[in-house]
Amino acid sequence: MSKPLLSVSNLSVSYGKVEAVRGVSLEVFAGEIVTVIGANGAGKSTLLNAAMGILPAVGEQAFDGAPIGRLEVEDRVAAGLSLVSERRELFSSMNVEDNLRLGAVRFSEREAQSRMAGVFDRFPRLKERRRQEAGTMSGGERQMLAMGRALMAGPKVLMLDEPSLGLAPRIVADIFTIIEDLRKDGVAILLVEQNARAALNAADRAYVMELGEITMNGRAADLANNPQIEQSYLGLH
């Protein structure tokens, strides 16, 4: 295989004295959907936030062959890494277009317009609602808007933290279709999910995280058929 786009190795993240992520190594290659599954509190969000530069971390982090461990969030975005956080973090009193524009602040208005047209092609629903305030949109629409805003920056790797959280099953299916379309269009995906079954179905490779550590990794299809994984993570869905 070629070199990974995103790689973290021996990454640790602490909140005060509590080490929430311990010695984690993970890679995402171009063209891949990679998922991290694990129980509540396993450290999945902490891992993504550290890779994005939102939380300080110890260990090595590289993107596209260059070290990024010392880079601020906006420089990681410029390098091609974006995160849609669990909280989605939209500006609820701003409309769809203005929220999207915030994803492309480092580009000219003309460039932002052309990127927005691309986002509207992918999410026709957002185009219909371009003047609607984000705070009045449904959960699924807000998730699409948060993904659209991240895509405005033109990421090579898009990290998604619990994109299906709180959404009705039909909308969850739409979100997973979008994730697969993104991969086809050349955006590699790092997906954190509690909906382990859906995540393993969509992913090429998977990591299992328990109490801050990666305890298993491999082909998603193999993990989906692993009795231990089935018992721990697939029973409820």
Q: Is 166 in the site for ligand ATP (CB under 6 A)?
A: no
Q: Quote the DSSP letter at residue 106.
A: T
Q: Rounded to the nearest whole angstrom, what is the least distance from the CB of residue 43 to ligand ATP in the complex?
A: 4
164 neighbors 158 (Cβ within 8 angstroms) = no
Q: Is 163 in the site for ligand ATP (CB under 6 A)?
A: no
Nearer to ligand ATP, 54 or 102 (CB): 54
Tokens coding 109: 């208005």
Q: Is 35 in the site for ligand ATP (CB under 6 A)?
A: no
SS3 38: strand
By CB under 6 A, the count of residues binding ligand ATP is 12
Q: Given the structure tokens 């317009």, which residue do they identify?
A: 113
Q: Is 45 in the site for ligand ATP (CB under 6 A)?
A: yes
Q: Cα 47 vs. chain centroid, distance in angstroms?
A: 11
SS3 192: strand
Q: Is 43 in the site for ligand ATP (CB under 6 A)?
A: yes
Burial of 123 (0-12, 13-18, 19+ CB in 10 A): buried
Q: Which residues contact 33 (CB under 8 A, 6 or more apart)?
A: 179, 180, 183, 188, 189, 191, 202, 203, 204
Q: Rounded to the nearest whole angstrom, what is the least distance from the CB of residue 62 to ligand ATP in the complex?
A: 22
Segment 6-25, which members bind ligand ATP (CB under 6 A)? 15, 18, 20
Strand 33-38 with 18-28, pairing: unpaired
Q: Tell which one of 6, 33, 37, 42 touches ligand ATP (CB under 6 A).
A: 42
Q: Is 236 in the site for ligand ATP (CB under 6 A)?
A: no
Nearer to ligand ATP, 35 or 99 (CB): 35
Segment 172-201, which members bind ligand ATP (CB under 6 A)? 194
Of 42-50, 107-115, 123-131, 220-228, the window that binds ligand ATP (rule: CB under 6 A) is 42-50
Nearer to ligand ATP, 42 or 188 (CB): 42
Q: Given the structure tokens 């004295």, which residue do they identify?
A: 17
Q: Tell which one of 8, 27, 33, 38 touches ligand ATP (CB under 6 A).
A: 38
Q: Which residues contact 184 (CB under 8 A, 6 or more apart)?
A: none
Interface contacts to ligand ATP, rule CB under 6 A? 15, 18, 20, 38, 40-46, 194
